[in-house]
Structure 1
Amino acid sequence: MNTLIKLEITRTLRNKKFMFFSIIYPSVLFLVIAGPQDNSTVPGTRLPMGAFYMVAMASFGALTAVLMGNSEKIAKEREKGWVRQLRLTPLPGHGYVLAKIASAAVVTLPSIVIVFLVAGASKGVRLDAWQWLALTGVIWAGSLCFAALGVAIGYLASGDAVRPITMITYFGLSLLGGLWMPTTIYPQWLQNVSSWLPTHAYAGLGQAVELGGAPHMKDVTLLVAYFLLFAGGAAWLYRKDTLKT
């Protein structure tokens, strides 16, 4: 399993187009969305707009890297026969899932840091040293949940269907979970739905740190539960796909 993890990380780092898109994309979005706005407080929170969108876009960028990258890559590998070759080895289903999650996690760290740098330079976001470190840690760790979701979608969808399914999931979770705009402006019924989505919990981790506290237990519990659900589903789909051949 360790060999496959190293191989997956190396393949990801060699994909220069994917790395460039995953790292630069969230920073550009931050400038487009947060740049024209003043630094007033987000309705219903004590966060300035710049700080709110810094966490939102860093989280969105990490989600982009792990979800989009994993789902489409796995669907292509299934079509090309790479996964069939892996089945001839003693690699367990959870080993394949963990290898994909680990390789996707490598991309998220630079994308998070660059969003922080852009936010500090363009919107004057200032935090204590411990907050910068904690923000990096919680956003990076939270992205593993969506890396597991990407693996599950890659095994659930065919090569032709994987992109539209991933895009719908990607934009749906981002919009409803509050990564594009504050959920406090949504109708109450939609806020109630949003509060149980993994993306809402994900953004909540960083927002709690920005306000000087620890992540809320509900957000942590939700993300862990979703991670176990997605990772377990991905491993089950891997084994199910194995039985077909």
Structure 2
Amino acid sequence: MPYFSSATAALTRLEVARAARNKKFLFFSVIYPSALFLMIGGIQDGATKVPGTELTMPAFYMVAMASFGAMTAVLMGNSERIAKEREKGWVRQLRLTALPGRGYVVAKIASAAVVSLPSIVIVFIVAAAVKDVRLAPWQWAALTGTIWAGSLVFAALGVAIGYLASGDAVRPLTMIVYFGLAMLGGLWMPTTVYPQWLQNIAEWLPTHAYAALGQAIELGGAPHLKDLAVLGLYLVLFSGGAAWLYRKDTLKA
């Protein structure tokens, strides 16, 4: 039976509707990244370049905050919801329905991806309107698709954390991972200002590779193979971990 069956599609629609009604979640995943861009990137001089690159500071923070917003939607939303629904027995009840075995996980990732798209687009609109960031049409389209697709890496991580942690422990664990990856990976400031030893660590983090994809497109080029390979490796790692934890949780049910 295919994972994205009619039952999975129905659950995906339900998850999207639930997210749309959650004002707190919508604020942090959709509005918050744009507000951060205005607070950090909005005060930057449009002519100032990021050290060691040809990117202007507003352009750098546009991609950084769009990536941060997409990561917020898929990581924070998945981890907490899955952990709490496991604790309440909702996941166990769904296994008694026509929903395919992994349809629940697929629905969570798909619904998170739907919610993450507005956060990306709104950051772009704000950057263009407020800081006059100008790109070619193909660059806007490529940026949107790349950042959106790249967020699946963090959606898989959110699923893994949701199956790893209990309802009480999931929020602090997610926050540590979330802010740690964001800060060390260069979503809040360019990694070129870090000490060299920290730059060496940052370049192997998924958030650094994630932001680098968009930065390469902004400069008019294609994403670097190293960044694609790093993200691919983390996708396999997080997806494999989520699948293993899912099977382990299924055996307990």
TM-score range, shorter chain: over 0.9
Residue of structure 2 in register with 1:185 after alignment? 193
Q: Distance in 1 between matches of 2:182 and 2:101?
A: 29
Which runs of no fewer than 5 residues in structure 2 stay unpaired?
Answer: 1-7
2:35 match: 28
Task: Determine the C-alpha separation between the residues in 2 that align with 1:92 and 1:202.
Answer: 31
Q: Give the CA RMSD over aligned residues.
A: 1.4
Displacement of 1:88: 2.5
Q: Does the 8 Å contact 2:28/2:72 carry over to 1? A: no
- Cα distance between partner residues in 2 of 1:188 and 1:90: 53
Alpha-carbon offset, residue 107 of structure 1: 1.0
Give the residue type in structure 2 aligned to 1:116.
Answer: F
Contact 1:87–1:242 (Cα < 8 Å) also in 2: no
Cα deviation digits, residues 203-222 of structure 1 (max 9, x gap): 01100000001111111121
What is the match of residue 133 of structure 2?
125
Give how far 1:112 is off.
0.6
Aligned partner of 2:164 in structure 1 is: 156
Q: In the aligned structure 2, how far is the partner of 1:30 from the partner of 1:137? A: 20
Indicate if the aligned counterparts of 1:139 and 1:202 stay in contact, CA closer than 8 A.
yes
- Shift, 1:91, TM fit: 4.6
SS at match of 1:98: helix
Please give the per-residue CA displacement for 1:216-241, whole angstroms capped at 9, x wherever unaligned.
11111211221121112112111101
Q: Does 1:171 align with 2:179?
A: yes
Rounded to whole Å, the distance in 2 between the matches of 1:21 and 1:179 is: 16
CA distance in 2, matches of 1:224, 1:34: 29
For the 8 Å contact 1:43–1:185, the answer to whether it is kept is yes
Over residues 85-118 of structure 1, what are the superposed CA-to-partner deviations in whole Å (9 max), with x where a residue is unaligned? 1232465554332211101001111111110111
Instruction: Figure out how many residues of one structure are paired with residues of the other and give that number.
Output: 245
1:141 has 2:160 as partner: no
Match of 1:74 among 82, 105, 110: 82
* 5+ residue gaps, structure 1: none
2:94 to 86, 104, 124: 86
Instruction: Give the Cα–Cα distance (whole angstroms) in 2 for the partners of residues 209 and 12 of structure 1.
Output: 30
Identity of aligned residues (%): 77
Shift of 1:15: 2.8
Pick aligned residue for 1:205 from 206, 209, 213: 213
2:66 aligns with: 58
Deviation at residue 8 of structure 1 after TM alignment: 2.6
Look up the SS of the partner of 2:53 in the other structure: coil
Distance in 1 between the 2:139 and 2:44 partners? 24
Per the alignment, residue 5 of structure 2 pairs with: none
The 1-side partners of 2:20 and 2:125 are apart by 22
Q: Which amino acid aligns with 1:3?
A: A
Q: Following the alignment from structure 2 to structure 1, what is the Cα–Cα distance between the partners of residues 89 and 170?
A: 17
40-49 vs 218-227, which moves further: 218-227
2:249 is the alignment partner of 1:237:
no
Tell me if structure 2 keeps the 8 A contact 1:97–1:235: no
